[in-house]
Amino acid sequence: MATHATTQVFAPNKVIGSFHPPKRILMGPGPSEIHPRVLAASSAPSMGYLDPVFVGMMDEIKQLIRYAYQTKNQLTFPLSGPGSVGMESSFVNMVEPGDAVIVMRNGVFGGRMVENVQRSGGKAIVIDDPWGSPCDPNKLREALQANPSVRTVGFVHAETSTGAESDAKTLTGIAHEFGALVICDAVTSLAGVPLLVDEWAIDAVYSGSQKCLSCVPGLSPVSYSDAVIDRVKARKDKAQVQSWFMDLNLVLDYWGETARTYHHTAPINSLFALHESLVMLQEESLEQSWARHRLHHEAFKAGIEAMGLKFLVHPDYRLPQMNAVNVPESFEPGVEAQLRKRLLADYSMEIGAGLGPLAGKIWRFGLMGQSCSRANVMSCLGALTCELPEFGVHVKMGDAEQAALNVYNKAAQHQA
């Protein structure tokens, strides 16, 4: 009888036990911290994805996402995947080979839109704006006048790589003047700043679960208007969407309003978590969520400026939930990374680095969802106050914290 034995070459070189992650203060560009209620929901017993009870919860999730987006769109649901899947789903369904598509690029994620156009067989007409600035509506109007065949315009509402917010309402209105539909990246904006899908008439919008919703990563809430559905159903010669998994014609049969047809094994427990995070958003209310993000940003801003540090983005279009702070000019290359490592090692605090042309030039401080709190603002300012002098930046002990406290005290007096 033959014997089968494992050999050492296939075995790990040490005994691997359970993984226990350290507790971090997450103040980077995402993910954000997760509330115990959401974590508890994700650990509930699993169930079948066609179980009537689960199907009922799916309907509730759709209603809750509609509230978060402020829309009545029928096709509103969470895609199984991160925000990048929401992006790709929008482009592969709405862009056909040969289509001319305008993409407004003012950071990393506008650049990813360009790639999605190209991979969908379209021709990208790129409008570039400086990193740290919003998308320029005048440039969009000029590009549409010069390219009357354009049917789709893509832009990022809240550019995560820079912390700049663009005027989604104005951009959408201009696109519609020329008969184009819009694809709006709301990965960082949803629940952090006003986003009114129906009022602004946004056609396709996608976000991520791990930013201001403070859910586990891996889900992308999306919403598509009737105009998008009509376009997908009317693709030339009934040409199939290039992605089977993201074909809205198929997904609609699973997330639709009537009978459910099996499409894929949904991430059951992650959807439990999303449901709970959306319930918590509803309990707080969108208006209060927007106000909370604004308040803690103002306190953080006061502390940062008290240290003599400056923001990348002008106040008129600066996101409260994604704070891009310029690295001191005195820093030699690599020093900013040393400070980030120090914060992680000594304070268990994560902040983000700059990307692309901003690499080594900015820090990105996220104040998103559960990470957007007074405790985190004060802890971060205190850590920076202690560490910056070690890197040659003169900071007077207590100034930053007092500046932030002044903002909080003023807000408390106003509410009294």
The torsion angles phi and psi of 349, rounded to 5 degrees, stand at -120, 125
Rg of the chain over Cα atoms, rounded to whole angstroms, equals 23
Structure tokens at 308: 């003599």
What's the mean pLDDT when you consider all of the chain?
Answer: 94
List residues bridging with 185 in a β-sheet: 156, 206
Instruction: Give me the CATH number covering residue 329.
Output: 3.90.1150.10
Instruction: Give the separation between CA 17 and CA 36, rounded to whole angstroms.
Output: 25
User: Distance between terminal CA atoms of the chain?
Assistant: 83
47 and 195 housed in the same domain? yes
CA dihedral 39, 41, 43, 47 (to 10 degrees): -150
Structure tokens at 84: 């990048």
pLDDT score for 237: 62
232 and 366 housed in the same domain? no
399 and 371 housed in the same domain? yes
Structure tokens at 51: 């179980």
Instruction: Give the separation between CA 22 and CA 11, rounded to whole angstroms.
Output: 26
Angle (CA) 302 306 310, round 5°: 80
Instruction: Give me the CATH number covering residue 58.
Output: 3.40.640.10
pLDDT score for 1: 53
Q: Does residue 100 belong to any structural domain of this protein?
A: yes
Instruction: Give the separation between CA 124 and CA 163, rounded to whole angstroms.
Output: 24
What's the pTM value of the predicted model, to 2 decimals? 0.95
- The CA–CA distances, whole Å, from 43 to 38, 76, 216, 268, 273 equal 9, 25, 11, 10, 8
Q: Does residue 26 belong to any structural domain of this protein?
A: no
Domains held by the chain: number:
2
267 and 365 housed in the same domain? no
Structure tokens at 137: 């509506």
pLDDT score for 2: 55
Q: Does residue 405 belong to any structural domain of this protein?
A: yes
Using one digit for the tens of pLDDT, what is the confidence trace for 271-293? Answer: 999 999 999 999 999 999 999 99
pLDDT score for 414: 86
- The CA–CA distances, whole Å, from 367 to 160, 362, 372 equal 12, 16, 4
Q: Does residue 20 belong to any structural domain of this protein?
A: no
Print the domain residue range for 308.
285-415
Among 255, 283, 311, residue at a domain's last position: 283
Structure tokens at 386: 């202690």
Among 232, 251, 283, residue at a domain's last position: 283
The neighbour count for residue 160, using CB atoms within 10 Å, is: 28
Instruction: Please say whether the beta carbons of 23 and 254 come within 8 A.
Output: no
pLDDT score for 123: 98
Regarding beta strands 164-165 and 158-159, do their DSSP bridges make them parallel or antiparallel, or are they unpaired? antiparallel
Q: Which residues have CB under 8 Å from 46's CB, separation 6+?
A: 268, 269
Instruction: Give the separation between CA 31 and CA 210, rounded to whole angstroms.
Output: 5
Among 219, 248, 283, residue at a domain's last position: 283
200 and 327 housed in the same domain? no
**Low-confidence residues in the chain, pLDDT < 70:** 1-9, 237-238, 256-260
Structure tokens at 168: 């989604």
Q: Does residue 55 belong to any structural domain of this protein?
A: yes
Instruction: Please say whether the beta carbons of 395 and 384 come within 8 A.
Output: yes
Q: Does residue 28 belong to any structural domain of this protein?
A: no
